[in-house]
Structure 1
Amino acid sequence: MKNVKPCSIIPPTDRQASYNAAITENPSNASNNASNNEISILGIGDYQKLWKPGRELKIRFLEDVSSSFLRAFSQAITHWIKHVNLKFLIVPKGDADIRITTVSGDNKSMIGTDALTFDQNIATMHLETTPSDEDFESTVLHEMGHALGYLHEHLHRDATIPWNREKVYEHYFENYGWDKQRVDENVLTPYSGAIVDTEYDKHSIMHYEVDKELTDGVWEVSKNTALSELDIKMAKRTYPEDPNDVPWKNL
């Protein structure tokens, strides 16, 4: 069984285009002045890049995939679908909001509405994993979380993970070929700026597995394989049944 690679983020190439796409898609994304006490949702989400609640998201695979792959993928994303006010439609051709390639050496995704800033022939999500992998469902859940607008939980500013930085650099280079910049961006540097500032969730599907050999020898996080209770709360609050019930709107 192969070792599924950790996820990395596909950044926007044009920050202004990213912002414009986000507020055009969902005007509530522009509301970025809420204080910590006014936000009660849990987890961490890039609220500038959330889709408009109630809308349909079309998903297209850029290459042919087997029916068994489609079934496994569809089964995995149902765990998000039942908690968000969004419709999902897998389409065989034509324009799509989320475009997936399976011809990849990585698992990675754009964040939410950043997908709208790229041409239709460019993948917004890469899946290196296959249904035969033990971690297939959890990997799909994680990448779909990014596609919904959620960020890596281990980079929450309140995580305070006692990393052994030199061991982290060594681990990710030897196992995945990541240089220091990629490790800094995806593993070590907490987020700042326009994010939903919410409670840290060690059990989130958006959290990396953390081996104690890469920390102080005690602190660790095992592989999270399902949505946590706080993931579900965040999903329901960021994509509410009433599209007008946005938790940070008009605050």
Structure 2
Amino acid sequence: MEKFKKVLFGLVISASVVACSKSADPQIDTAQTDFETLEIQRADIPPGFENARVCRDLDPINGTDPRGAILRPTKWPNGSVITVRLYGGTEKVRARVREYASEWSQYANITFRFVQSGTAQIRVTFVEGAGSYSALGTAALSRLPNQETMNFGWFNDRTSEAELRATTLHEFGHVLGMIHEQQHPEAAIPWNVEAAYAYFGGPPNGWSKAQVDVNIFQRYATSQTQFSAYDPRSIMHYPISSELTTNGFWVGWNNQLSETDKQFIAQAYPKN
């Protein structure tokens, strides 16, 4: 039976919140990094990759521990109806979030039920400048009732349909327990390490070397995850410029569910 995929469910990072940063994290003291000593120039990055907004683990960083040293299940019971409440956002944006999130239910035996009152399991805010992030799977249930479990930090009426769809699908993939595809146990991406440090250390992400290690280079073990073949077309994959690898390997902007995404989530949450 084919082993199935995507660093999902069996897995949980210790704090289980993943975030996409549009701008530099105010908690990071970039003055303490040494990115300015690296040779790569931002102009070397091809058009379309200059300002990649990507997701990072918000857990405390310990670059010496193996990934997933502290794990807990994040998979919802099959057939779950997960309540979602939206706080803020324009009517257009809210409608798109409802529409695109529901795409997962075409393949998974999971229903997202959007409510307008009460304390929902998934609480979505639209705080500008705070990045986009989501709790992983059932880890959302451990957050306080007055805390958000997801944020879309750059959604407004000018946001393109492609980005609304891609980011919504990505974050609701995290809700189902999925982590980033570039950390798939079998990804083996040939990173140009120094170039990656410089790129992700620059705007709009502003990561330290330790954060790059945790979010980019460290992969999950096969024993931690339920996975299939590595899938560069996954909605859960970062875009990767060829300038960040040693052999020209690159991954474009994925803005829809790949065939592997669909097959995997259908096996993870099978319908009758």
2:213 aligned residue (184, 191, 211):
184
Q: Is 1:11–1:110's contact at 8 Å kept on the other side of the alignment? A: no
Code of the aligned partner of 2:266 = K
Shift of 1:199: 1.4
Structure 1 match to 2:95: 71
Q: Secondary structure at the match of 1:89?
A: strand
Alignment of 1:12-91 (within 5 A): 19=72, 48-61=73-86, 63-91=87-115
Taking the TM superposition and a 5 Å limit, the aligned residue runs for 1:108-187 are 108-131=133-156, 132-134=158-160, 135-175=163-203, 176-187=205-216
Residue 120 of structure 2: aligned partner: 96
Q: What is the letter of the counterpart of residue 107 of structure 1?
A: S
CA RMSD of aligned residues (A): 2.3
Q: Deviations 1:99-155 (Å, cap 9, x if unpaired)?
A: 112114212221101111111111211212315323121011111101111111111
Q: Which consecutive residues of structure 2, in runs of 5 or more, have no partner in the other structure?
A: 1-47, 61-67
Give the corresponding residue for 1:6.
54
- Alignment of 1:213 with 2:243, yes or no, is yes
Preserved CA contact (<8 Å) 1:50 1:148: yes
Q: Is the 8 A contact 1:49 1:111 kept in 2?
A: yes
Q: Distance in 1 between matches of 2:97 and 2:149?
A: 16
- Tell me how far apart the structure 2 counterparts of residues 53 and 222 of structure 1 sit (CA, whole Å): 32
Q: In structure 2, do the counterparts of structure 1 residues 100 and 9 end up closer, same or farther at CA, with 3 Å as the change threshold? A: farther
Question: Once structures 1 and 2 are overlaid, which stretch shifts more, 228-237 or 74-83?
Answer: 74-83
Secondary structure of residue in 1 paired with 2:224: coil
Is 2:269 aligned against 1:228? Answer: no
Quick check: 1:18–1:113 contact (8 Å CA) kept in 2? no
| In structure 2, C-alpha distance between the alignment counterparts of 1:110 and 1:234, rounded to whole Å | 20
Task: Compute the TM-score of the two structures, normalised by the length of structure 2.
Answer: 0.71
The gaps in structure 1 that reach 5 residues or longer are 20-47, 243-251
Paired residue total: 210
Q: Hey, what's the Cα distance between the residues in 2 that align with 1:54 and 1:210?
A: 35
Q: Is the 8 A contact 2:107 2:265 kept in 1?
A: yes
TM-score for the superposition, normalised by structure 1: 0.77
